[in-house]
């Protein structure tokens, strides 16, 4: 009797096991079928006077909810107006460079118009670690003779260099905040220095927020970046500084020595940044006399020992 019961148990167990394995295999097969993302068609066209250069013109199939980059480029003598059609998901219908998110089949058109007589276009871009926040970056149209304010914004501990391109009517090409007078179609670029935190002063003081570094940074922006010689010195410092800074960081005992060596530079920067012209001349004169006296003393002492 026990043998029969055991036989039946094994038989039922085999049936259940076979059923579970079959279900698992079927589930696995079904689960391995790829789930295709729903796609929609985006139809893009343009009016006379320009074209859509990204992604192009025609019909494009794109995944649902994907943000597609749009770039409308006007032809010479024309300006971009707006996007029309199914524009409810376009980020900015008045911007030539924007995005559209696909939640259905959409058809859009980039509209252009001839630039009115007496108007000129200003194309603004940036290069390096910064951007132009006034009037922005892109293409702008102004009446002839308009004085346009330009403001280049520095990102982090970097530096503005100059405006390049069609700069003949820019008031000061080396000033981040300046103006340009619209007497023609212009294209300009704000150029910045991109720097890292691996500098000698930062390594010596242990933080880029040290007050001494802020003084040195202010001196750099006011007195070095405003002339070719100063810019050359800054570029040289940026090139040679990283490996030296790395060595200082790896040998902490050197930090007090380097800080002591930076004292004259910090002192001169404080004088230049904070004091009046008369005070600057007086202190600089005293420093020159001090260095001259030290040089004479060192020379005489050397002469006594020879």
pLDDT of residue 281: 62
Q: What tokens does 303 get? A: 């002469």
248-272 pLDDT per residue, tens:
878 888 888 888 888 888 887 787 7
Last residue of one domain, picked from the residues 193, 216, 251: 193
Domain shared by 296 and 250, yes or no: yes
- This prediction's pTM: 0.42
Domain shared by 189 and 206, yes or no: no
Last residue of one domain, picked from the residues 156, 176, 193: 193
Name the domain count of the chain. Answer: 3
Contacts of range 263-267, beta carbons closer than 8 Å, 24 or more positions apart? 265/216, 266/212, 266/215, 266/216
% the chain with pLDDT above 90: 26
Domain shared by 265 and 251, yes or no: yes
Query: Residue 23: inside a domain, yes or no?
Result: no
Query: Residue 34: inside a domain, yes or no?
Result: no
Give the E-state strand segments of 75-158 in sequence order.
78-85, 97-101, 106-114, 119-127, 130-134, 138-143, 147-154
Query: Residue 285: inside a domain, yes or no?
Result: yes
Domain shared by 205 and 284, yes or no: yes
Q: What tokens does 82 get? A: 């707006």
Domain shared by 207 and 187, yes or no: no
Which pLDDT band, with edges at 50, 70 and 90, does 288 fall under?
low
What is the domain range of residue 272? 200-302
Domain shared by 87 and 170, yes or no: no
Q: Are the C-beta atoms of 121 and 185 separated by less than 8 Å?
A: yes
Q: Among candidates 159, 265, 275, which has minimal Cα distance to 205?
A: 265
% the chain with pLDDT above 70: 75
Domain shared by 53 and 101, yes or no: yes
Which residues, including other chains, have CB under 8 Å from residue 260's CB and lie 6 or more apart?
A: none
Q: Is the pLDDT of residue 108 over 90?
A: yes
Which residues, including other chains, have CB under 8 Å from residue 144's CB and lie 6 or more apart?
A: 118, 119, 120, 182, 183
Q: What tokens does 240 get? A: 């040679």
Domain shared by 164 and 95, yes or no: no
Q: Are strands 119-127 and 186-193 parallel, antiparallel or unpaired?
A: parallel
Domain shared by 180 and 95, yes or no: no
Query: Residue 141: inside a domain, yes or no?
Result: yes
Last residue of one domain, picked from the residues 145, 163, 193: 193
């Amino acid at each position: 009797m026990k043998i029969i019961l055991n036989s039946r148990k094994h038989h039922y167990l085999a049936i259940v096991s076979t059923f579970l394995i079959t279900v698992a295999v079927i589930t696995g097969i079904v689960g391995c079928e790829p789930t295709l993302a729903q796609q929609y068609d985006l139809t893009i066209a343009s009016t006379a006077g320009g074209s859509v250069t990204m992604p192009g013109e025609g019909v494009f199939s794109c995944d649902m909810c994907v943000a597609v980059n749009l770039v409308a480029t006007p032809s010479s003598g024309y300006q971009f107006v707006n996007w029309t059609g199914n524009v409810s998901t376009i980020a900015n219908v008045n911007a030539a460079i924007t995005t559209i998110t696909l939640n259905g089949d959409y058809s859009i058109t980039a509209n252009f118009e001839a630039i009115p007589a007496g108007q000129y276009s200003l194309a603004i871009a940036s290069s390096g670690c910064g951007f132009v926040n006034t009037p922005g970056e892109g293409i702008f149209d102004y009446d002839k003779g308009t004085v346009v304010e330009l403001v280049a914004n520095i990102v982090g501990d970097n530096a503005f260099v100059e405006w390049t391109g069609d700069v003949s009517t820019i008031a000061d090409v080396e000033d981040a905040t300046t103006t340009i007078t619209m007497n023609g179609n212009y294209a300009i670029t704000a150029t910045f220095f991109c720097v890292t935190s691996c500098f000698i002063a930062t390594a010596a003081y242990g933080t880029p927020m040290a007050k001494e570094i802020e003084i040195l940074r202010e001196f750099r922006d006011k007195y070095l970046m405003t002339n070719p010689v100063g810019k050359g010195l800054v570029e040289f410092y940026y090139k040679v500084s990283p490996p030296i800074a790395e060595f200082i960081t790896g040998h902490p005992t050197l930090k007090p020595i380097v800080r002591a060596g930076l004292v004259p530079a910090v002192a001169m920067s404080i004088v230049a940044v904070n004091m009046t012209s008369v005070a600057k001349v007086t202190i600089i004169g005293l420093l020159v006399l001090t260095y001259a006296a030290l040089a004479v003393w060192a020379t005489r002492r050397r002469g006594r020992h020879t």
